Structure 1
Amino acid sequence: MYKTITSLSAIAALAATATAHGTVTGITIDGVFSQGFKLDYYYAKQNGGETPEHVGWYAENLDNGFVEPNSFSDPDIICHKAASPEGSSDSMAKVTAGGVVEFHWSVWPDSHMGPVITYVAPYTGDIAAVKKEELKWTKIDAAGYENGEWAAVKMIGQNNTWPVTVPESLAAGKYVFRHEIIALHGAGEANGAQNYPQCLNIEVTGSGTETPEGVVGTELYTPTDPGILFSPYAATIDYTIPGPALFGSGGSSTPTTPSTPSAAPSPSGNSTTPISSPASSASPVATPVATPVAEEEPAASSAAPSTGGDELPESFTIDTFITWLEGKASGSASKARRHARSFF
């Protein structure tokens, strides 16, 4: 009996991690893939190991977790928890102004609907010396709720990839790109939104001359912004993307056209669309530099089968347990009046 409870506790811990959402695994520019920061690299560092060259910033979101609205004034909102440019390369990735950067996400649950937003911040000198608190961010791409679909869900349908066109007028130079999904499944309550910011180094080339002023990261949002404190389960969705004005728009963020979703997802839903590896229409080309000590992340599993009832079968997989656990959480929601985010 005790062995069974212990085993279930371990599986529950794995379930929480499995449903803890995603990170940017890398980017593709002109068909060339550049590695982002992998959570494995944190452990390699702790053990004195080496990591391959990568453009992603170091961060300690080890549970693939998020930054909550109550922490918007904390530096963690800038590039995620305890983030720093330590170990990242600023010479791997280059894009011509007017070109496209494809951001590849790990597995993302479609229940975690919300906007996808990208910012840039210029810097000079050595990337290792950059202080995130001093970077000033300009929004260059943003999508919320359009044509009955949330941007984060659309991203899943694009093989967990989000393409961003760099403005042609943007001045050449070195930039940190801040790419982010804001999950709104619990955002109808105060402090319920979940921000997943990721930072990567990309150099912009071309003949652009505009260098926007930007906003420091701790001033991008407030907990009560209309696009932060927002329930996505209304019959009619009228959503305003949070943050400063889009570059070149000449005004504040514009609400998306009100529309009625064809089938509003249940707040307790948490199905996923696993993607085994980052990909795009142009197949990414690996950029080998050094053999990493950190092991590759395991491929995402297929969708979890239904348990078919209240009881677990005698034999079950982790995915089956996750589905069963979510069903139990959903069943108690009307009594406890708590969202599934309270469990995951």
Structure 2
Amino acid sequence: MSWKLTIVLAGAFATRATLAHGILGGFITDGVSNPSFETEYIYRIQNGNPVPDLAAWSTESLDRGYIEPNSFGTLDMICHKNAVPGVLTAKVASGGTVDFFWPKWPHNVGPVLTYIAPCGGDCASVDKSTLRFTKIDEAGYDNGWAGQKLMDNNFTWTTTVPSTIAPGNYVFRHEIINLHSGAEANGAQNYPQCVNIEITGSGTDSPAGVLGVDLYKADDAGILFDPYADTIDYPLPGPALYVPGSGSDSTDMASTAAASTAAASASATALSQAVPGTPTALSTTVTPVVPTSTENEASNSSVVPTVIPTTLLTRTSNAPVATTAPGTDSGTVRLYGQCGGKGYTGPTKCKSGTKCEKSPKNPLYYSKCVPA
């Protein structure tokens, strides 16, 4: 990624005083910036207030938390907690790039992965349970963790779209897996984020893909993994990486499209769309909102005001949103759970009988609850 694009990323996306490490701050498709779904929009939806039309999917993750391995078989694993499709669709040419921006991401130990799934129509009405994902990008440990490389690259990860992929509307599922506690059962932390993107071009491949609930198992070698071993030989989790020109399965794609169309009208979601919306050009007029300065933000001088499109959507929600951080009990951290470290914003009080202690192998970034 060029230095010019790095400047664009720094200047195009939102950060507010509450911004933490669990969600996208925005994404760029072939040089066009696209805003993300912000945590504050959850409150707007709950109060019946309008939120911007976005290509990014909405979630109900108020704590910007993760999906734990024990939840891998649930719908939350697909695009995060109670995720709902965005109403817009961004656009990228086959062979082009998508840059995913994770402002202030603090976890340097773990892989970065990107998947795509064909919608078979408008992604705004797709049933996420029918989406079949193909992995088009992956990075684990190669002279350093992919998570650290993302942080070093202005908190940005660039994925190149294979030129052989057939044109159409796709859900891009971008994910970081934090492995600080990966050596413990249910210790990995998955942060999936989804956006709607149309791929243009002349490719012909339509891989069959894998259902989102089947991407990983809790005991997969790349999920239950000790990142602090003397020798790191990390096996990337999930299905095999797509090989350009590996063919297609038109039957699976047609089935996905039919199932998506049939199920969309009956799909019950915690966030119901009051206004359906239609895809529009992404050169929408935007209004900057100046963030409130905090001690945490002072460490990152590249953070600038939010870009929010003026096109609005009203949504309503009847489902309560849990505010307790995953892996905790009433704000306390479980045994071997993370309780501190540089950039960590979660709970710090260990449950009874345990204490918070710095990791001897990564004391700056990671502390965990150990037996007292």
Using the size of structure 1 for normalisation, the TM-score is: 0.70
Aligned residue in 2 for 1:140: 136
Aligned residue in 1 for 2:87: 88
- Structure 1: distance between partners of 2:188 and 2:343: 27
Find the residue that maps to 1:329 and give its secondary structure.
strand
List aligned pairs for 1:258-277, cutoff 5 A: none
Find the residue that maps to 2:129 and give its secondary structure.
helix
| C-alpha RMSD over aligned residues | 3.1
Find the residue that maps to 1:153 and give its secondary structure.
helix
Contact 1:51 1:291 survives alignment (8 Å): no
What is the number of equivalent residue pairs in this alignment? 265
Query: Shift in Å at residue 250 of structure 1?
Result: 9.7
Query: Shift in Å at residue 140 of structure 1?
Result: 0.1
Please tell me whether residue 115 in structure 1 is matched to residue 148 in structure 2.
no
The verdict on how the C-alpha distance between 1:128 and 1:18 changes in structure 2, with shifts beyond 3 A counting, is: closer
Aligned residue in 2 for 1:278: none
- Structure 1: distance between partners of 2:151 and 2:96: 22
The verdict on how the C-alpha distance between 1:330 and 1:342 changes in structure 2, with shifts beyond 3 A counting, is: closer
- Structure 1: distance between partners of 2:155 and 2:223: 23
Contact 2:21 2:102 survives alignment (8 Å): no
List aligned pairs for 1:185-264, cutoff 5 A: 185-248=180-243
Aligned residue in 2 for 1:102: 99
Measured against aligned partners, the alpha-carbon deviations of 1:204-257 in whole angstroms (never above 9, x if no partner) come to 000000000000001000011000000100111000000000000799xxxxxx
- Structure 2: distance between partners of 1:237 and 1:250: 32
The verdict on how the C-alpha distance between 1:296 and 1:47 changes in structure 2, with shifts beyond 3 A counting, is: farther
What is the one-letter code of the residue matched to 1:33?
S
What is the one-letter code of the residue matched to 1:106?
P
Query: Shift in Å at residue 20 of structure 1?
Result: 6.0
Aligned residue in 1 for 2:325: none
Contact 2:112 2:175 survives alignment (8 Å): yes
- Structure 2: distance between partners of 1:55 and 1:63: 22
Find the residue that maps to 1:70 and give its secondary structure.
helix
The verdict on how the C-alpha distance between 1:162 and 1:49 changes in structure 2, with shifts beyond 3 A counting, is: same
Query: Shift in Å at residue 302 of structure 1?
Result: 3.0
Contact 1:52 1:288 survives alignment (8 Å): no
Query: Shift in Å at residue 37 of structure 1?
Result: 1.1
Measured against aligned partners, the alpha-carbon deviations of 1:96-132 in whole angstroms (never above 9, x if no partner) come to 110111011121114x410000000001233332111
List aligned pairs for 1:313-328, cutoff 5 A: none
Query: Shift in Å at residue 24 of structure 1?
Result: 0.9
Contact 2:132 2:208 survives alignment (8 Å): yes
- Structure 2: distance between partners of 1:218 and 1:320: 30
Aligned residue in 2 for 1:124: 120
Q: Give 5+ residue unaligned stretches, structure 2.
A: 1-16, 247-281, 301-341, 350-354, 361-365
Aligned residue in 2 for 1:23: 23
The verdict on how the C-alpha distance between 1:88 and 1:240 changes in structure 2, with shifts beyond 3 A counting, is: same
Find the residue that maps to 2:50 and give its secondary structure.
coil
List aligned pairs for 1:291-306, cutoff 5 A: 298=292, 301-303=297-299
Measured against aligned partners, the alpha-carbon deviations of 1:318-338 in whole angstroms (never above 9, x if no partner) come to x99979x69x832699xxxxx
List aligned pairs for 1:36-55, cutoff 5 A: 36-55=36-55
Q: Which protein has the bigger helix share?
A: 1
Find the residue that maps to 1:222 and give its secondary structure.
coil
Aligned residue in 2 for 1:10: none
Query: Shift in Å at residue 55 of structure 1?
Result: 1.2
Aligned residue in 2 for 1:312: none
What is the one-letter code of the residue matched to 2:121?
G
Aligned residue in 2 for 1:11: none
Q: Which protein has the bigger strand share?
A: 2
